[in-house]
Chain A
Amino acid sequence: QQPVQSPQAVILREGEDAVINCSSSKALYSVHWYRQKHGEAPVFLMILLKGGEQKGHEKISASFNEKKQQSSLYLTASQLSYSGTYFCGTGVTGGGNKLTFGTGTQLKVEL
């Protein structure tokens, strides 16, 4: 079953913040976040492993709550380049490196 992301779509003005959520019905071992621009392949943002850690990458960070089987991606001071569709990819224990991708969140940043 595919992880559910929320919101489905969001429009921001440059400089605003956003949170994208990813919720799974399965016990997760890892959560991967990707950004995809139209007609292009997804670009790896970060990976979070079981342990409830939070990671940061400049103005983009993420958290992973393994008990709730949820992850959130935080975008601060958004830039025009952040526009795209964000996907979470989830891995389960015993699933090898296989990922199940979420429903996606379309993000558009405007001036």
Chain B
Amino acid sequence: GAVVSQHPSWVICKSGTSVKIECRSLDFQATTMFWYRQFPKQSLMLMATSNEGSKATYEQGVEKDKFLINHASLTLSTLTVTSAHPEDSSFYICSATHPRQGNYEQYFGPGTRLTVT
């Protein structure tokens, strides 16, 4: 158990367009999902915390109007990168907390590599 999927796994888009990334927990219900961004050879940087049915909590320095997060159900969260620019090119990874052990464990999706041209 504890499988998280992301779609798409790889996307190239033109500057100025928007891209939506989906994160799904396949075999469990996740009340909380997290969105991270990872640049090459760097660590994971938390962008926002997404709770089902409520507004996402964004980390300092992350533009909420640019990175729209929707957590419509206990198994689906989406991240939309609006008006994407080349500097938004990165590896975007979501995670979901599993109900085991008081929701402490985070399981990661396979990631989405975004390239903005």
Q: Which chain A residues have a beta carbon within 8 Å of chain B's beta carbons? A: 2, 30, 32, 34, 39-44, 47, 49, 87, 89, 91, 96-104
- Chain A CB within 8 A of B73 CB: no
Q: Report the minimum CB–CB distance from B74 to chain A (whole Å).
A: 15
Known contacts A32-B105, A44-B106, A47-B101; is-contact A101 B32 (Cβ 8 Å)? no
B73-113 vs A, Cβ < 8 Å mask (1 yes, 0 no): 00000000000000000000100010001011111111101
Main SS of chain B's interface residues? strand
On whether the beta carbons of A30 and B49 are closer than 8 Å, the reply is no
Within 8 Å by CB of B111, from A30, A41, A96, A100, lies: A41
On whether the beta carbons of A100 and B46 are closer than 8 Å, the reply is yes
Q: Report the minimum CB–CB distance from A1 to chain B (whole Å).
A: 12
Q: Report the minimum CB–CB distance from B98 to chain A (whole Å).
A: 9
Contacts of B44 in A (CB 8 A): 42, 87, 89, 101
On whether the beta carbons of B46 and A98 are closer than 8 Å, the reply is yes
- Chain A CB within 8 A of B34 CB: yes
Q: Which chain B residues have a beta carbon within 8 Å of chain A's beta carbons? A: 32, 34, 36, 42-46, 49, 93, 97, 101, 103-111, 113
Within 8 Å by CB of A104, from B43, B97, B101, lies: B43
Question: Whole-angstrom distance between the alpha carbons of A86 and B21 in the complex?
Answer: 26
Question: Whole-angstrom distance between the alpha carbons of A28 and B49 in the complex?
Answer: 19
Question: Whole-angstrom distance between the alpha carbons of A34 and B46 in the complex?
Answer: 15
On whether the beta carbons of B108 and A42 are closer than 8 Å, the reply is yes
Q: Which of A43, A89, A98 has the most chain B CB atoms closer than 10 A to its own CB?
A: A98
Known contacts A87-B43, A99-B46, A101-B44; is-contact A44 B110 (Cβ 8 Å)? no
The chain A residue with its CB closest to the CB of B101 is A47
Question: Whole-angstrom distance between the alpha carbons of A91 and B101 in the complex?
Answer: 14
Contacts of A41 in B (CB 8 A): 93, 108-111
Q: Report the minimum CB–CB distance from B61 to chain A (whole Å).
A: 13
Question: Whole-angstrom distance between the alpha carbons of A68 and B43 in the complex?
Answer: 23
On whether the beta carbons of B43 and A97 are closer than 8 Å, the reply is no
On whether the beta carbons of B34 and A103 are closer than 8 Å, the reply is no
